[in-house]
Structure 1
Amino acid sequence: MGFEFSIILAYAFGLILLYVVGWILLIPIKFIIRLIWNGVIGGIMLLLVNLIGGIWGITIVINPINALIAGFLGVPGVVLLLLLQYVL
């Protein structure tokens, strides 16, 4: 009876350990997916602002700094770039 209990305890500990390791590895993956998603949306927004805003003379120069801001922040980054362009 003691042998069976130790096997069940070892399996339970292994499952808990597997769950904890999976949860720890899932957090960085969520962050990376969010960063990629913001980058794609930010790039599309920069493109749309330049295409549609070009009619009214509203454009944002696409350089590495602006691409990074739009990539990390997404839509709020593009709005921030527009505001900074007209304030400065």
Structure 2
Amino acid sequence: MDTGMEVIIFLAYAAGLLIIFLLGKFFALSGKWILKAVLNSFCGGVILIAINLIGAGFGVHLPVNLLTGFGIGTLGIPGILLLYFISG
């Protein structure tokens, strides 16, 4: 085999390994982001249920669904206030 051909094969393997490494990093970061979003949505839903239980005596009711849970889980207290003012 020619030395030029061996260099090309080596570079092809190196490029393949680099692509696999970069794809692995991308999917690892995406997985962490998705897990964090699901956990925040769950916590937001729990907070909404608690607000509805406590606020029932005061006439406060906020809708509980995936979108509102995600919004409160992501935004925190400003998300609760925003949802309260939007729901009227």
Q: Which stretches of structure 1, 4 residues or longer, exceed 4 Å deviation after superposition?
A: 3-8
Q: Give the 3-state SS of the residue equivalent to 1:34 in structure 2.
A: helix
5+ residue gaps, structure 1, are none
1:60 — aligned with what? 61
Report deviation, 1:17: 1.1
TM-score after normalising by structure 2: 0.61
SS at match of 1:50: helix
Query: How far did residue 10 of structure 1 move?
Result: 4.1
Q: TM-score, normalised by structure 1?
A: 0.61
Q: CA deviation at 1:54?
A: 3.2
Superposed, 1:41-80 pairs within 5 Å as 41-55=43-57, 57-62=58-63, 66-73=64-71, 74=73, 75=76, 76-80=78-82
1:69, 1:77 within 8 Å by CA — same for their partners in 2?
A: no
Q: How do residues 7-86 of structure 1 correspond to structure 2 at under 5 angstroms?
A: 8-55=10-57, 57-62=58-63, 66-73=64-71, 74=73, 75=76, 76-85=78-87
**Which deviates the most, 1-10 or 15-24?**
1-10
After superposition, the CA RMSD in angstroms is 2.9
3-state SS in 1 of match to 2:28: helix
Q: Is the 8 A contact 2:62 2:83 kept in 1?
A: no
Question: C-alpha separation between the residues in 2 aligned to 1:42 and 1:33?
Answer: 14
| Contact kept in structure 1, 2:41 and 2:70, CA below 8 Å | yes
